[in-house]
Amino acid sequence: MTTEWNLLNEAHTALLGAVQGVGDAEWDLPTPCEHWTVTQVLQHAAGDQVGFAAAITGGAGPAENPFAPSGRLDADPVEHVKAAITAAAEAWGTVAADAAEVPVPVPPNLLDAATGSGACALDAAVHAWDIARATGQEQPLTPWAARELLEVAKRIVEPLRNFGAYAPALAPQEGDDEAAALLRYLGRDPEWAA
């Protein structure tokens, strides 16, 4: 499912690709999200996408709390994430590009369309990186997407740090590329290893 939101499309593609790349024995591996396994990050990421869709459409939210993922998934992981990103893409497909206020599940709960869709993309993209990093896959963030996502992050992340959604920013390092700059801003070490 694609929408006119290019950044969101790219983030959804990255998340789906990362999930498709997880091996059968890798679902319980640790991730850069401290104390969460690959399965839990998948549950969180999918739940957040459903949460964005529900905020826009007024439909049902995620089946479980995305911030307390169980680590047990009864559905096929790829189909689970496909359903979540499809719901989000379809919801954003109903939003005008110039909409000044779109309901979203992150503070302040109303954002302009570009920032709101960017927030949805940021969540999908960073968790695509978490899953890819945890399972030895290539880093899925393009330089363009990382630059765009960093601009979105600078507009929305600070209040979310107060809720534990993001760790404190890490200091930039000489030689950081676009993805590393984004990850450090979000409190992630680009060189993280289990």
Tens of pLDDT, residue by residue over 54-107, are 999 999 999 999 999 999 999 999 999 999 999 999 999 999 999 999 999 998
Classify residue 29 as exposed, middle or buried by CB count within 10 Å of its CB (0-12, 13-18, 19+): middle
pTM metric for this prediction: 0.95
- Which residues does 46 contact at the CB level (< 8 Å), separation at least 6? 62, 66, 80, 81, 83, 84, 85
Question: In this structure, which CATH number among 1.10.150.20, 1.10.3470.10, 1.20.120.450, 3.30.2020.10 belongs to the domain 6-185?
Answer: 1.20.120.450
Residue type, 156: I
Give the CA count within 13 Å in the CB-facing half-sphere of 26: 20
**Domain ranges, ordered by start, for the chain:** 6-185
Q: Strand pairing partners for 103?
A: 110
> What pLDDT score was predicted for residue 3?
53
